[in-house]
Amino acid sequence: GNSVTQMEGPVTLSEEAFLTINCTYTATGYPSLFWYVQYPGEGLQLLLKATKADDKGSNKGFEATYRKETTSFHLEKGSVQVSDSAVYFCDPNQGGKLIFGQGTELSVKP
């Protein structure tokens, strides 16, 4: 079945720093790739997605590119804000339950 390896947190950055959260996956076939975000005290919500190779998902300044050759979907943001502090989950999905691990906690300091 599908699996994912995600950068361990917590990741602590200063405001306006560059962010990369690595995500690599194993899958049979071609999954759709998702990043979900969970802000403190809230449920999960979709951050961005990509459905085929070389697609770039983007939202709220975050980007991730579907890299089939490296089976990766790294999350990046050029300048983080305090409000980006949350837990981020990468999910390679071909239907069914979410495939994610512990998530990566991001803490942005002013």
Partner 1 sequence: GAVVSQHPSRVICKSGTSVKIECRSLDFQATTMFWYRQFPKQSLMLMATSNEGSKATYEQGVEKDKFLINHASLTLSTLTVTSAHPEDSSFYICSASGGGYLYEQYFGPGTRLTVT
List contacts with partner 1 (CB under 8 A). 31-32, 34, 36, 42-46, 49, 51, 87, 89, 93-98, 100-103
Of 49 and 74, which has the nearer Cβ to partner 1? Answer: 49
Nearest approach, Cβ of 4 to partner 1 (angstroms)?
12
Nearest approach, Cβ of 94 to partner 1 (angstroms)?
6
Of 19 and 47, which has the nearer Cβ to partner 1? Answer: 47
Structure tokens at 2: 């599908």
Structure tokens at 103: 């998530």
Sequence-separated (6 or more) residues with CB below 8 Å from residue 3: 25, 26, 27, 99
DSSP 7: -
Nearest approach, Cβ of 8 to partner 1 (angstroms)?
12
Of 3 and 45, which has the nearer Cβ to partner 1? Answer: 45
Query: What backbone torsions phi and psi does residue 61 show, to the nearest 5 degrees?
Result: 90, -10
Residue 33 CA to residue 66 CA, distance in Å, equals 7
